[in-house]
Structure 1
């Protein structure tokens, strides 16, 4: 799911530019959060944009399980601009304070990792830090520790994709699930940079409201197989509707050719 959202974000940003359609950071955040929140397990999200002035983050993500505990991330989202492929709102101020300062202060208070998620498209990718299969579109949703962004803000000429994606801490957001422990060991000469120690944002269990949300999502399921052209027999509850789209995700270890074919036919109209 995280891979699909990243590659979709990458291509959608490009198509919106080509079609001269305004596509804001807030819209991308909403689409991606809605997809993640619909996922049944392993990930819990909370939209914090209503409290962004106090928390400095657009959303929080919890990744883990009841057995292994949960990693908590306070995430500030930024969208790339085609003018120099810069992040024009990277130094944003809220009521006289730098947004990144508010983010770091809040994250320390609640024991979360303060990170930035960059929604990207770029014509050239010079560095790809994930050791899994090389796919430039995975940088459509690229995450970085706030400390690295803070360093970029201190020095002129670093607030763009070219510099930020080349930093060794810059990884596709799938790595938060698939290979983060390897990236936690990454350190630069400056002790202030790099991914935090895992213990600093690891929690034994989810807050009760998020636990309840995950259980509720797990209870919505199809009673019977859905045939083409039929209205599915879903147990409707207030606020829930049967889906008009079905997403099929094959998590098997397919070859490159089969992955390419499946990605082209992943979305099917219900």
Structure 2
């Protein structure tokens, strides 16, 4: 096994860049289309919902507590999807949301939209890059990514950064660009991300390995690994890069399920 036949594919938002800063910036910008009182109510709903979006309780309720009314029965794909759903409920239209998303990306990695890298990520990437290509693939535009990756200590640790890829549909083009054959032969791939449908399902459909970063995975998800945070994956990631080993109980990665066409703006 070598760098040429081993590919580690990473998502950006929620995977290598964590924290609610950009999502809160998105919500703040979107609220600008509302009058002051409704805008404040919308921002409060988003903040309350973000407190529960990663809760492992399947109903969205905190253990021993009660979920805010805005999150009851709400299972968003990610924080960006949560803002979209709540924005629709508050009467914020798609044009305002699109402008707000771009505004939030221009603030990425600043005090207005702070992010952090998972603990130990730079050291792990420096280690595995001796045996694998590491590619970042994101739906986000190429706005402040270079600066943010540098601030996270990840500059020079990625073989390529692919933006505006249009997950999930665009993931086939990502794999093709990385030299991954449609039949799954020749190159080993491990895709790591926090949204099953966008980051992982298209890769699993080609028979490859996947890791979902989630405390509350969706019922349709069938990743090889599910971990609550990226550092929990490091031992398995190192072993996979070295040997290709996966758990004996890992679910099949044969394409048994349709890949939904829903796309979020997350990275």
TM-score norm. by structure 2 comes to 0.28
Higher strand share: 1
Q: Which has the larger radius of gyration?
A: 1
